[in-house]
Structure 1
Amino acid sequence: MMIRFPNLGVELGYVGRSVRIFGFEITFGGMLLALGMLAGLAFIVLEAKRRNENQDAYVGMMITAVIFGLIGARLFYVGFSWDLYKDNILEIFNIRNGGMAFYGGLLGGMLGAAIYCGIRRLSFMKMADTACMGLVVAQIIGRWGDFFNRESFGEYTNSVLAMQLPLSSVRSSQVSAAMRENLVTVNGVSFVQVHPAFFYESAWCLVLFLLLLVWKRRKSFQGEIFLRYLTGYGLGRFLLEWIRTDKLVMPGTGISVSMVISVILFVLCGIMGMVRRTMAKKRAKVKKRRREEDYEAEEKAAREAEGHDSLEADDLLSETHTKENPENPDAEAAKEAGQTDPVPSGSAEESGNEPEA
């Protein structure tokens, strides 16, 4: 039950696998997995509330995704470990002994969520942008269940973070030749010294979560955050598969199934994300240019209308002056010229005659 980190000077004398509550044995790994899912669901609901989206729709989608995900995770593991179950079919339903594969759960969950969105006529990619961030939260917490289960560790190492596990507490199928050659004996107990791969993955998911928080503020199309998650997780998982010893391999080969899926996710989702982002930027530029053209056209029309109204006003003013002086336009002209008292024709001065006494 001891776990040691010799290069950090940390020694945990007792790390249990489970606890009994009301007579039921509950593993710490299972509790952390449940805690991770609840934390992830809480994040999704709060994010949906912040964005004024339907929170009930997200809850329904996640419940469906979890059910399909659990089935997919088990079937994926059983399918690539068939030799362990072919002689005892009923053991397939015994999940208390472990045997779940994350990529199977991811693919199953995606299928369940897509079916739910299709039935409810909701946008899967839009909801996946928020749901994937809740999934990362669940991974950050849930991966620590492997610490208590003594699972998902890597090859032998003498690095700063090297972890020592009692040889008797781990599955023999996960102990490599390098581990056996470098066994460490402490107080008569043999330890394997390995990479804490579960910690690496939890830390990678934490970094990915922080990046997703930044990227979602600059999202340019629906589904971008989801594609970035798949790309980022695929890259991290590919690197981790190099050191893990509990790999599921393709039948007849020594190729890790998770490594192949990771490469596909990294390449395919990465390319899709870049292409769609480029197209979204081009569409945004076109819309911006059209808005500017429409604005300029409206401004031009407004200026022309203003000039037309000004001309009409001048014509109306001219007509008004003409109507006010219809019989003597010369008098009006004289008035404008400053001749306020014109001399009438036929006066005495004009005829040259003296006025009568």
Structure 2
Amino acid sequence: MIDYFKKNKKAFYIYGGAFAVFMLMIILAVATQTGTPYNNIAVDLGFAQIAWYAVFILTGISLGAFLTYWEFKRVGWDTEILFDALLYAVPLSIIGSRLYYVIFDPTPNYNSFIDVINITSGGLSIHGAVITAFIFVVIFTKKKKINFWILADMLAIGFLVGQIVGRWGNFMNAEAYGPIIESQFILNILPGFIKEQMFIAGNYHHPTFLYEGIWNFMGLVFLLVARRKRWFRIGDTIGLYLIWYGLGRGAIIEPLRTGGHPGDALRMFGLPANIVLSLTLFMLGGVAIIVAKKYYYIDQPYYVDVLIEEEVKIENNPA
């Protein structure tokens, strides 16, 4: 990893800067608090309020978009294409996120179209956003006549960044937590500000938002390194992202979560919708992509070989 950044100083500054912005947001959110549970409103304008949840979600989207913009330049694509995509993809993904929640809500109480699209009272799901974005990319790349697999690989990184940052919105809401912590070791290693925010109903609860963030961060680091080496070909990154995210969310995080978030109640065929979708749609989707690329989209180049800047061509010999 260190050797990678030595050969890619610009990458170090870009990703290091994004990480610094992320850490600054956490410090700002916590430092402005006077006690626990934290106030989840970042800005109160009197006539309107801006929640920390929205701040972290928008920060995650912005950082993901910024990193994708940089990647567009590295493969020689017109960055105006990215801005065109974001103009449609972001609002459509929000709509998809909301519709996913509405469709699988076990206790629907929507009396009008306004109730369906009303996101001010909560009710969004990352699953719906990812599914919507994926469908959009399929259509968008055909219209713009650009390589679907390359853009999908870029967005896989953006998704992970957005999810890592956005989860801290759950932290500020004191939601997306797990069962009561029984281990003294875990209590000792958790940072105090996280532990106190997860003190709910008289007990400390597992910060599953943090566990998911760590899981996604490990996947992010691996994919960032792997796509700069001749380990995987174009299209493998999005497939591996779906497998990694589906496994972590469906088999580890969701079974551990006990409540506190509206999405925990969503059901599909009587089962937790987020578990079903994570283990089937995402994991199987990732496997399908890997298999399809092996038999139908063969001879794809390595991702690093489509970069046009010589300074990022790290030394790597094909295995």
TM-score by length of 1: 0.63
The 8 Å contact of residues 44 and 50 in structure 2, kept in 1 or not, is answered as yes
- The aligned runs of 1:265-344 (5 Å cut-off) are 265-270=282-287, 272-273=289-290, 276-277=293-294
Shift of 1:272: 3.6
Q: 1:210 aligns with which of 209, 217, 221?
A: 221
1: distance between equivalents of 2:223 and 2:100?
28
2: distance between equivalents of 1:108 and 1:275?
21
Q: 1:241 aligns with which of 250, 254, 262?
A: 254
The 8 Å contact of residues 155 and 195 in structure 1, kept in 2 or not, is answered as yes
Percent identity, please: 25
- Higher RCO structure, 1 or 2 (CA under 8 Å, sep 6+): 2
Report the structure number with the largest CA radius of gyration. Answer: 1
1: distance between equivalents of 2:138 and 2:249?
24
State yes or no: 1:258 paired with 2:274: yes
Give the partner amino acid of 1:273.
I
Shift of 1:117: 1.8
* Stretches of structure 2 lacking an aligned partner (at least 5 in a row): 1-32, 302-319
- 49-58 vs 275-284, which moves further: 275-284
2: distance between equivalents of 1:211 and 1:29?
27
Q: 1:20 aligns with which of 43, 49, 56?
A: 43
Shift of 1:275: 6.2
Alignment match, 1:107: 131
TM-score by length of 2: 0.70
SS in 2 for 1:242: helix
Q: 2:62 aligns with which of 18, 28, 38?
A: 38
The 8 Å contact of residues 268 and 276 in structure 2, kept in 1 or not, is answered as no
Deviations 1:158-205 (A, max 9, x none): 2315745465xxxxxxxxxxxxxxxxxxxxxx4243210111111111
Alignment match, 1:223: 235
1: distance between equivalents of 2:218 and 2:224?
10
- The aligned runs of 1:30-69 (5 Å cut-off) are 30-69=54-93
Q: How many residues align?
A: 251
Shift of 1:30: 0.5
2: distance between equivalents of 1:89 and 1:279?
42
Give the partner amino acid of 1:121.
K
The 8 Å contact of residues 36 and 137 in structure 1, kept in 2 or not, is answered as yes
The 8 Å contact of residues 77 and 248 in structure 1, kept in 2 or not, is answered as no
* CA RMSD, 1 decimal: 2.7
Alignment match, 1:144: 168
* Stretches of structure 1 lacking an aligned partner (at least 5 in a row): 1-10, 168-189, 285-357
